[in-house]
Amino acid sequence: MARPLAGALAVVGVAVFLHLDVPRPAGSASGARLGSSPPVRPAKGPCVLRADRLVLRGARFRGVVSVRTGAGTVRALKFTVRSLDAVNLDLTAGRGRAAMRLRARPATTATLKGQGAGGVATLYVRRLTGRVTGLGGGPLPADRTVAVTPDAVPHWLSHPRARTRTITLAGATASQITQFGGRLSIKGPQLRTTERGPHRA
């Protein structure tokens, strides 16, 4: 059975994966909250999401925005999604001995469902890579292997007429990712640190 990430693993600090990297958009109110979770805090290290397949349902690219982190203001890609599916989810936060790694049970799908205004979640990503395998029934780009950054946004994503759609990437990596207004469920979650063995929920 899938278990909500916040409820099953927050006691061992897993909230770091999606809450600490990019605390809030520049100019937003202090103390922004994710659902009923504690206020977002400054970044303590990079957060990287990897998945064999990443599906962003009801996705809309909202442009490049400035966000505040513990290391200062940075530029990030902003997306809103109704839900996100990650097959073989692998999350890493931090560096060296302070790094934490969360993995789902092999061959399972972790799901983030929007719970914010309009039932959407908001994602902030510094870099998104992978192979585009689906654009909601639309034509695929000629170069399907992409590396999307604030300085390299492909036309198929940035075009002003691009509608809300499902975007599917194979072999996806999202670097320095955080989200607001959603709830993540994982099957068979396993948490590891460099100093301790795995913890299962």
- The confidence band for 5, taking pLDDT boundaries of 50, 70 and 90, is very low
Query: What is the pLDDT at residue 115?
Result: 84
Query: Does the pLDDT value for residue 171 go beyond 90?
Result: yes
Q: What is the average pLDDT score of the chain?
A: 77
Instruction: Answer yes or no: are the C-beta atoms of 57 and 32 closer than 8 Å.
Output: no
**How far does CA 161 lie from the centroid of its chain?**
24
Query: Does the pLDDT value for residue 9 go beyond 90?
Result: no
Pick 173 or 159 by higher pLDDT: 173
Q: Judging by DSSP bridges, how do beta strands 83-87 and 100-103 pair with one another?
A: unpaired
| 158 Cβ contact partners less than 8 Å away, ≥ 6 residues apart | 61, 63
- The confidence band for 93, taking pLDDT boundaries of 50, 70 and 90, is confident
The mean pLDDT of 122-143, rounded to a whole number, is 94
Pick 35 or 102 by higher pLDDT: 102
Pick 106 or 39 by higher pLDDT: 106
Query: Does the pLDDT value for residue 27 go beyond 90?
Result: no
Q: Helix/strand/coil (H, E, C) string of the chain?
A: CCEEHHHHHHHHCCCHHHHCCCCEECCCCCCCCCCCCCCCCCCCCCEEEEEEEEEEEEEEEEEEEEEEECCEEEEEEEEEECEEEEECCEEEECCHHHCEEEECCCCCEEEEEECCHHHCEEEEEEEEEEEEEEECCCCCCCCCEEEEECCECCHHHHCCCCCCEEEEEEEEEEEEEEEECEEEEECCCEEEECCCCCEEC
The mean pLDDT of 131-159, rounded to a whole number, is 94
